[in-house]
A = this chain, B = another copy of it.
């Protein structure tokens, strides 16, 4: 129905399932000949490859074609306050090679982005892939970003980054599309792509030093007017009344349920804890006070989530971040409050669960963001038609086609 050139075919095949030409003809309503001609540029580019043939039904077995995530690369980065991760991923978001290093974001954009580019070059050399294999770059930053321009806006913890043109700087090294977004937004995208591909109304909540969220509603990531949608850490909750937050206000959720706050509570009980990981260790060791503190943090977070559930009516809430690693205690507190308080209509199909993606959620999300952009049907069509400049004698420079990895998706 939705006739859209090779890009449309790739969109269909990107679910990873191999299909025969006849399958594709059936799905699109086109003839087999049209499918073949549309498939040609995708095969040339290596984006689609033949995999093991289907079982014969008596005659010649039909060749099955599948999306080849290894055809090109995407560079993904997750820059945190004190650490940065860069990764080379394939077109399915799978990490090919990854480096995490201690790096203060306060070093400024040039230093951080230079390190990023340098590390990526190293990855490319190790993997013996040319820089031209990279088709896009995705970057997550720990603050508000105007996604359309890729510029951070008034970030509280990123001195020197305000208004810095990240894409322009990165493109001096890699002349491809550069997508920048808030790191929690990217974690939401990563979690969604990895485990909840068809979830159109979800909230990804990160509970660590800060508390933030990424909101996917109506099937698209919501960034808001200034790129600060999902900034739920400084919503007021009742138990925080009067407590001072680092943001200058009082009663903020973060001030009682953020990792430092929970750790501080434990210190009052004579326990040793400063970071979220310390808290998690105590919980895992079975310390009752720690368990109770985490569960209470869950309840406080639940008070805030209650409002989000009423407001945007999601069908899924995924909780991640360091504090979420403490087994089910945080989630239990959240569920307790949300299911008790919210309206039945909003909660009857609401699933609250723990993030399964580990610390690499950020880079995976950055990769997804970049891949989604680069492999959007319209863009693929441009790419594919540029392959046939004048007629049928194809002389476009098909560099690197022989380098394509033969990752062969298996049958369902």
Expressed in whole angstroms, the Cα–Cα distance for A313 and B212 within the complex equals 13
Give the residues in chain B near A154, CB-CB below 8 Å: 344-345
- Pair B346/A228 contact, Cβ less than 8 Å: yes
- Pair B311/A229 contact, Cβ less than 8 Å: yes
In A197-211, the 8 Å CB interface with B consists of 200-201
Expressed in whole angstroms, the Cα–Cα distance for A223 and B219 within the complex equals 11
| Stretch in contact with the other chain, from A163-171, A234-242, A392-400 | A234-242
Expressed in whole angstroms, the Cα–Cα distance for A350 and B227 within the complex equals 13
A343 touching B247 in the complex, CB below 8 Å, given contacts A225-B315, A311-B307, A348-B226 = yes
A303 interface residue per 8 A CB criterion = yes
Chain B nearest Cβ from A376, distance in angstroms: 14
Query: Which of A154, A231, A249 has the most C-beta atoms of chain B within 10 angstroms of its own C-beta?
Result: A231
Main secondary structure of the interface of A (DSSP, over half): loop
How many identical subunits does the complex contain?
2
Q: How large is the interface on A (under 10, 10 to 19, 20 to 34, 35 or more residues)?
A: 35 or more
A65 interface residue per 8 A CB criterion = no
A349 interface residue per 8 A CB criterion = yes
- Pair B341/A215 contact, Cβ less than 8 Å: no
Q: Residues of A with Cβ closer than 8 Å to B?
A: 144, 153-154, 200-201, 213, 215, 217-218, 220-232, 234-236, 238, 241, 247, 249, 303-304, 306-308, 310-315, 341, 343-346, 348-350
Known: A225-B313, A231-B343. 10 other contacts (CB 8 A): A144-B345, A154-B345, A226-B349, A230-B313, A235-B310, A235-B311, A236-B341, A238-B241, A304-B307, A311-B312
